[in-house]
Structure 1
């Protein structure tokens, strides 16, 4: 299997606003993730990366969501306690009010963790669900992130992964001299087949896959008839969508003990004699 490690890490997006059609991508991915999240039950759900943190799974039965973002992310920098400590010191807000104030924002900062996706600060078998919204497309080593997810996820836990499709108009435009400053030029663009192969090697079962957005993603969507075209392409040309979303479930095969064979026959006996005959002879004496 070809290694996905890259010596030079790609530029990392701090928000969906870094993409020209970021809001459309986020809304399309969120719609699919909401449907998937309805079937994920448990106690803890982790969203890895800046893009995942901006997707609120309102329909999820799991109430405790953890947003893990890198420190250089705008929300990671907001976790710096300078402003918060100044407000508390000036008696402007109490710690409880500060938590309530943070929970009113788009991202619940009270449940935010600053760290890298390839080094998760969670115990083994402790997270019931994961969301990786295009996180692997901007990872230096996506295998390392998936191995960490496999270590932390519970038995029969779920993972939702979205990614950019190289077999699309966006994948072609990536290699064209179009908007060279666009961060999409740095995206990895892994195929869904390759992504599913990685998941299956780690013991995940692919539950469902959906294709969304049929455009270059390098320009904002302004055409009014785009919705009808999107529906047509999704029905007849799903393989050329710009974004795919995969739902996978962790499968753990239990170990079964090997039952011993019954009525074992002796493999050794004296040459020219029988144990039964010897016993009869001794009784006659």
Structure 2
């Protein structure tokens, strides 16, 4: 297993158009995220990255949405009603326990230090807040074809491709509870296919072989266990006992 931290900074996509069949994947992902976002509530939703910013959530109950992008992608940022903030995902400029929900669409796949991004999400997310993480599956056709000496998209070859099991393990270590996981797109997104990606064959794979999906969506909830005072079961016993009245009387008679 390769370490999560790498010295090489992966190539970063500024939009879905830079990925093979990107707009088709975006639309499929948007429908999935829109359904999951209906459980969100609060005041602030943060989309991390340019890919996350292109996913619209019109029916989400959280109306204040912030899109965090890096300086290289500012010119490619989508025009929307979201508040745009130029910042580093590894150092989010938010106070502790101030964000109600996060959306990370392939942000960990193109990150040099995904652990640090998750730590920042954990630091700034409120108790019982939600996070949606979208990633590429290394066991999918996309993950397998990227290892072959074939001409393909450079961004996809540079992507990290972490397994969903590994992502969920990181979330568990931070105290998150996995609410649900969905598998999407059962075809190779490395190849610019000209036919429709939502084919009958892919629906069969989705039903019977979900492990080979190209994209997975993980919805997690931050759990905080409150500290409670535990009363001791033992009681302190006195070191001495008072002298009874009968004892004092007998001592007085002896002295007389």
CA contact under 8 A between 2:152 and 2:191: conserved in structure 1?
A: no
Alignment of 1:231-246 (within 5 A): 231-246=203-218
Alignment of 1:188 onto 2:185:
no
Corresponding residue of 2:220? 248
How big is the shift at 1:78? 7.0
* CA displacement 1:184-211 (0-9 Å, x = unmatched): 0000000000000000100100000000
Corresponding residue of 1:34? 34
CA contact under 8 A between 2:185 and 2:198: conserved in structure 1?
A: no
Alignment of 1:44-193 (within 5 A): 44-73=44-73, 76-77=74-75, 106-108=79-81, 111-193=83-165
2: CA distance between counterparts of 1:225 and 1:159?
27
2: CA distance between counterparts of 1:132 and 1:229?
28
Count residues in correspondence. 251
How big is the shift at 1:20? 1.5
How big is the shift at 1:9? 0.6
Corresponding residue of 1:266? 237
Gaps of 5+ in 1: 80-104, 270-274
Change (3 A) 1:254 1:21: same
Question: What's the TM-score once normalised by structure 2's chain length?
Answer: 0.91
CA contact under 8 A between 1:182 and 1:218: conserved in structure 2?
A: no
Question: What's the TM-score once normalised by structure 1's chain length?
Answer: 0.82
1: CA distance between counterparts of 2:156 and 2:245?
88
CA contact under 8 A between 1:179 and 1:218: conserved in structure 2?
A: no
2: CA distance between counterparts of 1:40 and 1:225?
30
User: Which stretch has the larger CA shift, 153-162 or 168-177?
Assistant: 168-177
Report the 3-state secondary structure (helix = DSSP H, G, I; strand = E; otherwise coil) of the residue aligned with 1:282. helix
Gaps of 5+ in 2: none
Corresponding residue of 1:25? 25
